[in-house]
Amino acid sequence: MSRLIEYADATPEVRAVFDAIMTARGVADVNNFWKALAVHPPTLRRTWESLREVMAPGALDPLTKELLYLAVSASNGCDYCIASHRKAAEAKGMTAEMFGELLAVVGMANETNRLANALRVPVDPAFED
């Protein structure tokens, strides 16, 4: 497991990112992902700035974005990401029923992705334009 850098031990550069995260999220501490990522301050800063931009409300609402994030994390089998983004999705309104349906779609997509690959299905011309 990685070393986790706590606020008290962080450099000013790291603290500035931690402060930005805590302010944006209205929380009193950052979660372990950020404490671990603090081993490389430039990646910490860039990742936070990118995440903030990508997850901001836009043509897709924040809950939908969080569902997509969770679906990809579940598909990739990232245990930490599944745990953290499930909590984040629930905080934004994902119900147990919605999580169940998300699971079903992720499972189904992983199944048919392999069927399509295995059968080497040629893309229909109607899908190409």
What residues numbered 30-49 form the site for a copy of itself, per CB under 8 A? 31-33, 36-37, 39-40, 42-43, 46-47
CB of 31 to a copy of itself, least distance (A): 5
The CB density around residue 34, as the number of other CB atoms within 10 Å, is 19
Is residue 111 part of the contact set for a copy of itself (CB under 8 A)?
yes
Asked if 40 and 3 touch (Cβ cutoff 8 Å), the reply is no
3-state secondary structure (DSSP) of residue 54: helix
Least separation in angstroms between CB 125 and a copy of itself? 10
Q: Pick the binder of a copy of itself from 6, 13, 19, 101 (CB under 8 A).
A: 101
- Closest by CA to 92, choosing from 124, 121, 122, 60, is 60
Closest residue by Cα to residue 32 from 24, 23, 44: 44
> Cα Rg for the chain, rounded, in angstroms?
18
- Does position 116 bind a copy of itself by CB under 8 A? yes
Window 39-98: residues binding a copy of itself (CB under 8 A): 39-40, 42-43, 46-47, 50-51, 53-55, 58-60, 64-65, 67-69, 71-84, 86-87, 95-98
